[in-house]
Chains A and B, each alone.
Chain A
Amino acid sequence: MLMATAARAAGTRAVACAAQRAGAAAAVRAYHEKVLDHYNKPRNVGSLPKNDPNVGTGLVGAPACGDVMKLQILVDDATGEIKEVKFKTFGCGSAIASSSFATEKIKGMTVWDAAKVKNTDIAKELSLPPVKLHCSMLAEDAIKSAVRDWEAKRAARQAAAGAAAPAAAPATASAAN
Chain B
Amino acid sequence: MTRDSATDDADRLTRRHYVAGAGTLATVGIAGCSGGGDGGDGSDGGDGSDGSDGSDGGDGSDGGSSELEIIHWWTAGGEQDAYQALLDGFREEHPDVEIVDNPAPGGAGSAIDTVVQNRVIDGNPPSTFQIWPGQALTPYTDEDLLEDIGDSVWDEEMRDAYLGDVVDLARPAGNLVAVPINIHRLNNLFYNVSVLDDAGVDPTDIDGPEGLLGVFETLDAETDVTPMAHQTQSPWSSLQLWESIFIGEQGVDAFQTLIGGDVSGLEDEVRSALQLLADYLQYIPEDAGSISWDQGNNDVISGDAAFLHQGDWAAGQYRSAEDFEFESDWDMVPFPGTSGVYQSVIDSFVFPTGNPSPEATEQFLNYAGSVDAQERFNPVKGSIPPRTDVPMDEFGDFLSRQFEDFQNSNTQPPAIAHGTAVAPAIQSSLQEVFANFNGSQDVDAAYDGIVNSF
Are A and B interaction partners?
Answer: no
- Which A residues form the contact surface with B (CB < 8 A)? none
- Which B residues form the contact surface with A (CB < 8 A)? none
